[in-house]
């Protein structure tokens, strides 16, 4: 497995929280979150709310998890952890983009063809959810990126 795509030890991913990571390919970067389902499966979703794409679900200290959902703290949308489907809130019916990951030998790797590298943490020190930073977001074939 390519070490540049290792995100975290799988033991560090719990059901009660998310772990944010940054994926990159060339000059493109995006953020994802990892979380664990009740059946022990680890899943990865985009870290951006479909309601307002500049709002992170996890600003670095874990997204709010409630009743098997990830909660957007901006306007309260909830996303099923098992599917990424928004079952409540202003973007009800939307679905979080997923990342392909592989868990092997106790580690979680990003194995998504759209991205070349991954590391734990936010992309830079920007916290876009505060509204104090301006970024440019675009989506091509369902792959959301920032510059
Ligand atoms: S920005 Fe997430 S629910 Fe509005």
Per-residue pLDDT tens for 108-127?
A: 999 999 999 999 999 984 44
Q: Are 120 and 19 in contact (CB under 8 A)?
A: yes
**Quick one: pLDDT at residue 138?**
56
> What's the pLDDT at 140?
61
CA gap 3, 54 in Å, rounded = 29
Distance CA 33, CA 17 (A): 10
Query: Does ligand 1 come within 6 angstroms of the Cβ of 128?
Result: no
- As a whole number of angstroms, the distance between CA 10 and CA 56 comes to 22
Write out the two tokens for 54: 């500049």
Which tokens is 92 given?
């009800």
127 Cα to the center of ligand 1, angstroms: 15
Q: Residue 104: CB partners within 8 Å, gap ≥ 6?
A: 1
What DSSP element (H or E) covers 39?
none
Domain that holds residue 116: 3-146
Number of CB atoms found within 10 A of residue 141's CB: 5
When comparing pLDDT for 106 and 140, which is higher? 106
Mean pLDDT on 117-139:
64
Residues 15-70 pLDDT 10s = 999 999 999 999 999 999 999 999 999 999 999 999 999 999 999 999 999 999 99
Distance 4 CA to ligand 1 centre (A): 32
- Kindly report the pTM of this predicted structure: 0.85
Task: Place 1 in a pLDDT band, splitting at 50, 70 and 90.
Answer: confident
Q: Does residue 130 surpass a pLDDT of 50?
A: no
For position 86, what pLDDT does the model report?
Answer: 98
Q: How many domains does the chain have?
A: 1
Identify the burial level of 124 via C-beta atoms within 10 angstroms of its C-beta, where 0-12 means exposed, 13-18 middle and 19 or more buried.
exposed
**Token digits for 95?**
């679905």
CATH number, position 78: 2.102.10.10
Cβ 50 under 6 angstroms from ligand 1: no
């Amino acid at each position: 497995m390519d070490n540049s795509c290792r995100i975290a030890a799988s033991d560090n991913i719990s059901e009660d929280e998310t772990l944010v990571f940054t994926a990159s390919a060339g000059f493109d970067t995006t953020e994802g979150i990892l979380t664990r389902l009740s059946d022990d499966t680890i899943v990865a979703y985009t870290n951006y709310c479909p309601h307002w794409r500049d709002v992170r679900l996890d600003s670095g200290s874990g997204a709010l998890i409630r009743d098997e959902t990830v909660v957007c703290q901006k306007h309260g949308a909830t996303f099923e952890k098992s599917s990424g489907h928004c079952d409540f809130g202003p973007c009800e019916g939307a679905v979080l983009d997923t990342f392909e990951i592989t868990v092997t030998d106790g580690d979680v790797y990003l194995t998504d063809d759209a991205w070349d590298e991954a590391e734990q943490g936010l992309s830079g020190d920007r916290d876009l959810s505060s509204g104090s930073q301006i970024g440019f977001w675009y989506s091509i074939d369902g792959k959301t990126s920032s510059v």
